[in-house]
Amino acid sequence: MLKVTFIRAFAAIGLVMLSGYSWAQSGYPDKSIRIVSPFAAGGTNDYLARMVGRLLSEKWGQTVVVDNRTGAGGNIGAEFVARAAPDGYTLLMGSITPNAINPALYAKLPFNAQRDFAPISGIAATQTVLVVHPSLPVRSVNELVALAKAKPQSLHYGSAGYGSISHMGMELFHGLTGTKMIHVPYKGEGQASVEVMAGQIEVMFPNMPTVLGVVRAGRLRAIAVGGAQRSQLMPEIPNVAEAGVPGYQMSGWFGLFGPAGVPREVLARINAEVTRGLQRSDNKELLAKQGAEPMPGSVDEFTAFVLSDVAKWAKVVKTSGIKID
């Protein structure tokens, strides 16, 4: 059903082209472009939006503005793009949260995640990392689990908001370990990480790029990574599964979307420029330093990927019983 929905959306693109947007094929881009980041400045989404903005601006000579429209787990920014003119000048730095998790997590959304967006390109896949304040007397997953069970609901964990990867990653951890910590949502991972560093909350499970620098500086302690494999940036840190929680796997992804109806030629042009930019050695190095890997591909490949992840998270949310009205 989801596949059919996307096919219909792409069919609608053709109708839009016939009804007045064909000018964009030859003239695009002839003015500034806005990339909406639905999370606060300082987090991974914002970082990648600015990186893509630089790529497009350097290539096309047009100003690319990053617009942080935060709130509701990314839904506010996503809704803004869903309602924008389908001309390729308003884009969304989407991610696993608003584009894959939220459709199942929220009882009501102000947009249809499958019908109202045109996938353009994958940008990056990120590793997650379980971090604690250095004052917390735990240095391993097993020690964290033991402490959480000994003092139920006494530990607090921060997230970038309801439904964010830092929220769902910890809820998945709770389900597999039988623990329960108190969720403290923030407007973004950057803000949440500052609160952990300040000792206002004890635990966080963010995307690695958000906290890599402060972990290396000793201001946060990393005890495990969430991916299926260890991170090359922290090879000494085990993943959660090998550290004692079999079956745990939580990684993030980010990708560029436009509102449904953007001409196919415009989608393809943006995709081509982003793909070329992500394959440059300097950008690969920048991503690697942030704990991320480029995930370029065609428009159709990214569309298929999003469809698959939407189905995956629908099952996870249903099993967990988490729902936001």
Q: 144 with 189, same domain?
A: yes
> Could you report the per-residue pLDDT of 223-265, keeping only the tens digit for each?
999 998 899 889 999 999 999 999 898 888 999 999 999 999 9
User: Residue 244: which residues within 8 A CB-CB, separation 6 or more?
Assistant: 140, 141, 142, 145
Residue 56 contacts residue 270 (beta carbons within 8 Å): yes
Q: Domain tally for the chain?
A: 2
Q: What is the pLDDT of residues 80-99, one digit of tens each?
A: 999 999 999 999 999 998 99
Closest CA to 227 of 238, 215, 216, 213: 238
Do 174 and 283 belong to one domain? no
Kindly state whether residues 191 and 267 are assigned to the same domain: no
One domain for residues 120 and 143:
no
Q: What is the pLDDT of residue 284?
A: 92
The per-residue DSSP string of 190-229 comes to HHHHHHHHTTSS-EE--BHHHHHHHHHTTSSEEEEE-SSS
The set of residues, in sequence order, having a beta carbon less than 8 Å from that of 315 and lying 6+ positions away, is none
CATH for 165: 3.40.190.10
pLDDT in tens, 60-71: 999 999 999 998
Question: Do 135 and 21 sit in the same domain of this protein?
Answer: no
Spatial separation of the C-alpha atoms in residues 121 and 262, rounded to whole Å: 14
Find the domain containing 60 and state its range. 2-125+252-320
Give yes or no: residues 221 and 258 share one domain.
no
- In a domain, residue 234? The reply is no
- Confidence at residue 13, expressed as pLDDT on a 0 to 100 scale: 43
pLDDT score at 288: 86
SS3 239: strand
Q: What is the predicted pLDDT for the residue at 26?
A: 56
Which amino acid, one-letter code, is at 114?
Answer: Q
Instruction: List C-alpha distances in Å: 205 to 136, 186, 297.
Output: 15, 13, 28
Question: Which one has a higher pLDDT value, 23 or 73?
Answer: 73
User: What is the CATH number for 288?
Assistant: 3.40.190.150
pLDDT per residue over 114-134, tens digit each? Answer: 999 999 999 999 889 999 999
Q: What per-residue confidence (pLDDT) applies to 255?
A: 98
**189 assigned to some structural domain:** yes
Percent of the chain with pLDDT over 70: 92
Residues 6+ apart with CB under 8 A from 76: 38, 69, 70
In the predicted model, what is the mean pLDDT of the chain? Answer: 89
Whether residue 153 has pLDDT greater than 60:
yes
Q: Count the alpha carbons within 13 Å of 269 in the hemisphere toward its beta carbon.
A: 17
Query: Do residues 11 and 119 share a domain?
Result: yes
Please check whether residue 230 lies inside any domain of the structure.
no
